Structures are given as structure tokens and as C-alpha cells.
């Protein structure tokens, strides 16, 4: 059944991208339906006439047999060759069957077009029905709420020691204490006319990379102990077309991978030079495997050293917003606008299971450090924690008032930070 939904979803996506074709199919379906109706009515009329004539002949024959109506003429019944099984298929019948087949295809296409036009509403309804069947789960306890942002929180990243958090809103970067929520450092984007959308702390704890979105976007690298200092430097300038949409550090803190309208690329963090052109097609999400060998780029796994294709996953039919690797680098969790999170094998792209707990787009996904749980944040204003092996819900956090954009586990796996359009970041119980 899930495969059927995926196939139908791909048809919806195609028709949304080709509305003129969908409209043509819809009009063709109406015309064919009218023609089919006319032919069916005509056929039924002939059948009724035949049955009536035969019945009338039988009645008159019976009356004459018993001499009740000797003067009544017995109508001569001539069999309608159009109603009998023909010895050969006529051209009219071939034409009729052809029109019926085309009508069926056109009708399905037209229906798909209609559904595609209203797909967001239908998808939300389906997701709500699915989530309504999810059993009630405990709600996590809030430890710290950070109110320093004046705009929607777009991304966040823990420091490797778990003591600080770097977070961004469209205006820039903020660094603050994860213990008490007090601002420790603050800096705005160097390019004030552009929008800061991403923050990522290097695994060695020395640097913070921010993604500055624009027609010609850039990545800025800051010294982590003082992001506003003169020592901060821009690693990549004017090289990331229509992006970056996502960025991530390599586990050894030497490279940065970006996803953008120009595709997936790997950059040298020290020089800002492109190291490996991984993927040329536009991408939205990218994640580096913990062992450093692979990149997950939307629904594809690539070798991080040469960009070689390893495997693909095609279960989603909408944009993938976020990717999360299991700590053992064997599995990938993908969060999508289709309202699901899917867990799949990185070696062959085989799906393990699909999580349907959310009732709207899922924007962020993160795997716990001990591999046992997955956290996901959604437009439905919840963060949900669930079993990474079975998909069974464990916690549902509901204290944000607007959609969740970013979710991240603390390095020790005991806390989760979630950033929202309500301008807050909330740190809460994860176990």
C-alpha cells in the first residue's frame, strides 16, 4: 500500500509541475465521459427495444395458441446483428473500445490533476488522520528557554562540550549558554543585505560556520570563542548560487559540505577553495556520515572523497528538508514535506520503516548519540521523540506556539534543543 501511495505521489508531483498537461487530461476526461454516456444510453435503448419486441411476440403467440386473438398479426422479430456476438470485430466497436480506454486514462489523469491541485490540504488531512491514531505520549520537561532572538529561529548547533549553543535568525548569529540561557557572544552577518539561515559548530569546537543565503551566497567561518572578533574570516564568498540551503562540517573539521541551487559541494575550510564537486543538480539537504566516508545529499548517498554514487532512496515524493545519520553510519533518517520521516539503509537504499506521527511538514531530524532514538520537528508545532528501531513514540514536546525549524541533541544525549518561528529556543528533557 505504501508503494501505491509513493507512485500516486510521484504522479501528483509530475502534474503539479505540468499543470497544462493536467488540465488537458481533465478536459479530455470530460469529453470522453460525455461520449461514453451517450454510447451507453444508446446501447441500453437498443437492448430494451430488443427485449420488448421479443416479449411482445411471445405474448401474441400465446394468445393465438388459445384462439384469444386470432386476428392479431404476429410481428416478425428480426435479430439485431449489432446486439449479437459478431463473427468479427467491427470498426465501430474497435473505435468504441479505444475511446473507452482513452477515456479511462484521461479520467485518471484528470482526477490526479484535481487532487494534485489540492494535494497540500489532502496531505494534511491524511497526516492528521494518521497522527490521530498515534497513542498519547509523555511530554518532555523544559530546562531552559532562550528569548534572545527577535525573529524566527532558523537553525541551531550545540558546542561539542554541550555548554553553549550557536543559533541563527535571519539577522545573524547568536552564541549563548545552554546552562542558563544567558547571551555570551553575539554577532550579525557581515552581509547585512543577505539572510543568515544556518549555524554549524565544528566537531573540534574551534569554529562556527554560518550560511548566508542569497543569489550568490556564502559561508562565513567564525572563531568560536569570540564570533565577533577580527580573527573571523569568510571561507567561501560568491560561490554558492542560490544558497546555501544546508551546510555541515566533516568529522575532522577540515572541510565543509554545502547544498544549494548549484548542487552539493565540498570546500576546504582553511582556504575556501572547492575540494570536490559532488553533485551538480540543485539540492536542499546534506549530512556527513560520522565515519567521514559518505555524504547524504537529499535522497542520495555519495562517496565524500570523489562524489561517486553509492545508493539512492526514492520513498519521498516532496522536498527533503533534513537528513540525519545514525552514529554507526549505517542508516539515514530523512525529514520531508510529505509529513513523514523515513529511515533507510545507506548501502542499498532499502527502507526500514516510515514514521507517520506528525500531521504536517517535517523540517528537522536528528539521531540520538546512542543510536536508540530519533527526534523530529514539524510545522505541527511539536517535537517528537521515537524509537529508532521501531518508530514507537516516546515523547511529544508541545510547548512551542509556532512551527519547529531545527532540532538537535546535546552531545551527551540527555537534552534536546528546538528552535521555532515563535522566536524561542527551548532546551528540554530527552530521556
Domain chopping of the chain, boundaries? 2-117, 142-429
Task: Locate 219 and state its grid cell.
Answer: 559561508
Measured CA to CA, the distance from residue 430 to residue 243 in angstroms comes to: 32
**What is the layout of strands, in order, in the sheet containing 233-243?**
195-201, 207-223, 233-243
- Count Cβ neighbours within 10 Å for each residue of 222-241 and write b for 16 or more, e otherwise: bebeebeeeebebbbeebbe
Q: What are phi and psi of 36, to 5 degrees?
A: -65, -40
Q: What is the pLDDT of residue 182?
A: 86
pLDDT digits (tens, 9 = 90+) for 134-147: 556 667 788 999 99
**What is the layout of strands, in order, in the sheet containing 341-345?**
320-325, 331-336, 341-345, 351-355
Tens of pLDDT along the chain (431 residues) come to 445 544 555 555 555 555 666 666 667 667 776 666 667 767 766 766 666 665 555 655 555 555 544 554 555 545 444 444 444 455 556 566 666 666 666 666 666 555 555 555 555 555 555 544 555 666 778 899 999 999 999 999 999 999 999 999 988 889 999 998 888 766 665 555 567 788 999 999 999 998 888 777 888 888 887 555 444 544 554 457 677 899 999 999 999 999 988 889 999 988 888 887 787 788 999 999 999 999 999 889 999 998 899 999 988 888 999 999 999 999 999 999 999 999 999 999 899 999 999 999 999 999 999 999 999 999 999 999 999 998 999 989 999 999 999 999 999 999 999 999 999 999 998 76
Task: Locate 49 and state its grid cell.
Answer: 427495444
Asked if 303 contacts 293 with a C-beta cutoff of 8 angstroms, the reply is yes
pTM of the model: 0.69
Q: What is the pLDDT of residue 214?
A: 79
Closest CA to 338 of 112, 2, 1: 2
Q: What is the pLDDT of residue 310?
A: 93
CATH for 142-429, options being 2.130.10.10, 3.10.20.740, 3.30.565.10, 3.40.50.360 = 2.130.10.10
Residue at grid coordinates 451517450 = 38
Measured CA to CA, the distance from residue 431 to residue 338 in angstroms comes to: 28
Measured CA to CA, the distance from residue 236 to residue 222 in angstroms comes to: 12
pLDDT digits (tens, 9 = 90+) for 36-51: 666 776 776 676 666 6
**Around Cβ 322, how many Cβ atoms within 10 Å?**
24
Strands 373-378 and 362-367 come out as antiparallel
Q: What is the pLDDT of residue 363?
A: 97
Amino acid at each position: 500500500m505504501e508503494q501505491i501511495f509513493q507512485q500516486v505521489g510521484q504522479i501528483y508531483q509530475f502534474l503539479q509541475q505540468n499543470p497544462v498537461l493536467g488540465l488537458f487530461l481533465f478536459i479530455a476526461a470530460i469529453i470522453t465521459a460525455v461520449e461514453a454516456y451517450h454510447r451507453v444510453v444508446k446501447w441500453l435503448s437498443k437492448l430494451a427495444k430488443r427485449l420488448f419486441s421479443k416479449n411482445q411476440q411471445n405474448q401474441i403467440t400465446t394468445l393465438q395458441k388459445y384462439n384469444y386473438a386470432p386476428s392479431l398479426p404476429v410481428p416478425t422479430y428480426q435479430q439485431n446483428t449489432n446486439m449479437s456476438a459478431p463473427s468479427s470485430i467491427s470498426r465501430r466497436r474497435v473505435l468504441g473500445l479505444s475511446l473507452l480506454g482513452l477515456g479511462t486514462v484521461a479520467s485518471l489523469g484528470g482526477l490526479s490533476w484535481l487532487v494534485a491541485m489540492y494535494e497540500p490540504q489532502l496531505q494534511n488531512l491524511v497526516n492528521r488522520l494518521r497522527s490521530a491514531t498515534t497513542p498519547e505520549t509523555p511530554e518532555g520537561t523544559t530546562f531552559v528557554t532562550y528569548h534572545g532572538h527577535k525573529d524566527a529561529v532558523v537553525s541551531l548547533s550545540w558546542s561539542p562540550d554541550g555548554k553553549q549553543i550557536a543559533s541563527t535568525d535571519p539577522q545573524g548569529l547568536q552564541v549563548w549558554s545552554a546552562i542558563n540561557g544567558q547571551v555570551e557572544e553575539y554577532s550579525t552577518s557581515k552581509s547585512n543585505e543577505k539572510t543568515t539561515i544556518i549555524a554549524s559548530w565544528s566537531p573540534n569546537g574551534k569554529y562556527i560556520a554560518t550560511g548566508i543565503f542569497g543569489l550568490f551566497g556564502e559561508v562565513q567561518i567564525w572563531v568560536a570563542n569570540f564570533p565577533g572578533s577580527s580573527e573571523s574570516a569568510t571561507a567561501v564568498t560568491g560561490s554558492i548560487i542560490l544558497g546555501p540551503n544546508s551546510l555541515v562540517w566533516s568529522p575532522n573539521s577540515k572541510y565543509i559540505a554545502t547544498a544549494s541551487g548549484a548542487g552539493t559541494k565540498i570546500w576546504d575550510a582553511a582556504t575556501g577553495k572547492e575540494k570536490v564537486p559532488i553533485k551538480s543538480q540543485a539540492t536542499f539537504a546534506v549530512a556527513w556520515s560520522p565515519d567521514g566516508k559518505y555524504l547524504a545529499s537529499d535522497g542520495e548517498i555519495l562517496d565524500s572523497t570523489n562524489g561517486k554514487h553509492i545508493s539512492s532512496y526514492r520513498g519521498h515524493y516532496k522536498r527533503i528538508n533534513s537528513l540525519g545519520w545514525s552514529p554507526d553510519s549505517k542508516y539515514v533518517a530523512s525529514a520531508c514535506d510529505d509529513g513523514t520521516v523515513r529511515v533507510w539503509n545507506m548501502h542499498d537504499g532499502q527502507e526500514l520503516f516510515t514514521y507517520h506521527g506528525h500531521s504536517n511538514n517535517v523540517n528537522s531530524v536528528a539521531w540520538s548519540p546512542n543510536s536508540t532514538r530519533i527526534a523530529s520537528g514539524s510545522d505541527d508545532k511539536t517535537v517528537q521523540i521515537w524509537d529508532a528501531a521501531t518508530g514507537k513514540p516516546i515523547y511529544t514536546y508541545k510547548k512551542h506556539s509556532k512551527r519547529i525549524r531545527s532540532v538537535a541533541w546535546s552531545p551527551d544525549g540527555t537534552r534536546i534543543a528546538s528552535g521555532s518561528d515563535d522566536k524561542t529556543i527551548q532546551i528540554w528533557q530527552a530521556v
